[in-house]
Amino acid sequence: MSLDRVDFKKKVVDSAEVLAVLGSKGAPNPDDDVDMVDAANTDGYEALEMLINSFYTCDYKSFFYSLAEVEDKFLKRDRILAEHKPW
């Protein structure tokens, strides 16, 4: 699977679902058909935000640092994703 830079920004970085989870900087759009996540429950998602943004901006040092954080915070602790961690 691959996306060019413009599509990655449109479909991932600026997607309503990602902005809802990470806490978008702007006000939510009431026309979006997305279940908004409570902003108080987004602790720990900074690593995911850094992962996406550093990949988009080609800051690979930060990308791999945040990838390790995501592995530690999410993959190891999730019973479904944990079995994919060795890959």
Q: For 14-41, how does the pLDDT look when each residue is reduced to its tens digit (9 = 90+)? A: 888 888 888 754 444 544 444 444 444 5
- For 5-10, what is the mean pLDDT? 90
Instruction: Judge contact between 33 and 7, C-beta under 8 A.
Output: no
Q: Could you give the CA distance from residue 4 to residue 46 in angstroms, rounded to a whole number?
A: 24
Helical pair 60-70 and 46-56, crossing angle rounded to 10 deg: 150
Q: Could you give the CA distance from residue 69 to residue 48 in angstroms, rounded to a whole number?
A: 8
Q: What type of residue is 36?
A: M
pLDDT tens digits, residue range 42-71?
A: 566 888 899 999 999 999 999 999 999 988
